[in-house]
Amino acid sequence: MGSYNLSKIALAVLLTALGMVGISSLTGAIFKQADLTKDAFPIKVETAPVKSAKNVVVKKEPSLAALLAVASVERGQKVFKKCQGCHTAAKGAGNRVGPDLWDVVGRSKGGVKSFSYSEGMKAKGGNWTFQDLFIFLKKPKDFIAKTKMGFAGLKNATDRAAVIVLLRSFSDAPLALPTVKAPDNTADNNTPG
């Protein structure tokens, strides 16, 4: 390709660019865009009257201690069927895809010596408390980053509490359940008698 042909190509590109700039300037001069001060198509939205804070009833979630106090091992056994493909729970049964869960409540995280835990589990540290198990069972990957556990989790708090009560029973010396605190009624007792 000669320099004459390259010059023709360069001239064509330059003229195309100049033509586009000229057309853009011309259309900008002809069609002026006005700033809109209100919506072109207003949409009416019906709103319900807002209740005052005095009329709002807030449903408080029960505490973990309260959930554990009423949780049943039988319900835990039904829910635990989801876990049995990867975990054993009988004393001395050994590991499967996941570690053996015998005596897991109170045991250190990553505490089964014969199991190869993820780096995330090893780094987490501490012991499996009732609260940690409750959070972990909801969504394991949120509690321990890079866990190998592929289980999506148990959304239902009652199911999680039942599984924890069951896991607690897999021990020769189960840890005591947390105590449920009585409601504070001191405000009612301050009236002079």
Q: Which of 68, 67, 63 is nearest to 169 (CA)?
A: 68
- Between 155 and 59, the more confident residue is 155
CA torsion 63→66→67→72, rounded to 10°? 170
Angle at 108 between CA 104 and CA 100, to 5 degrees: 35
Tell me how far apart the alpha carbons of residues 102 and 113 are, in angstroms, rounded to a whole number.
Answer: 13
State pTM to two decimals: 0.63
Q: What is the pLDDT of residues 41-68, one digit of tens each?
A: 666 666 666 565 666 665 677 889 999 9
Supply the mean pLDDT for the chain: 84
Q: What is the pLDDT of residues 165-186, one digit of tens each?
A: 999 999 999 999 998 886 655 5
Say which CATH superfamily domain 64-169 falls into.
Cytochrome c-like domain (1.10.760.10)
Above pLDDT 70, what percent of the chain? 79
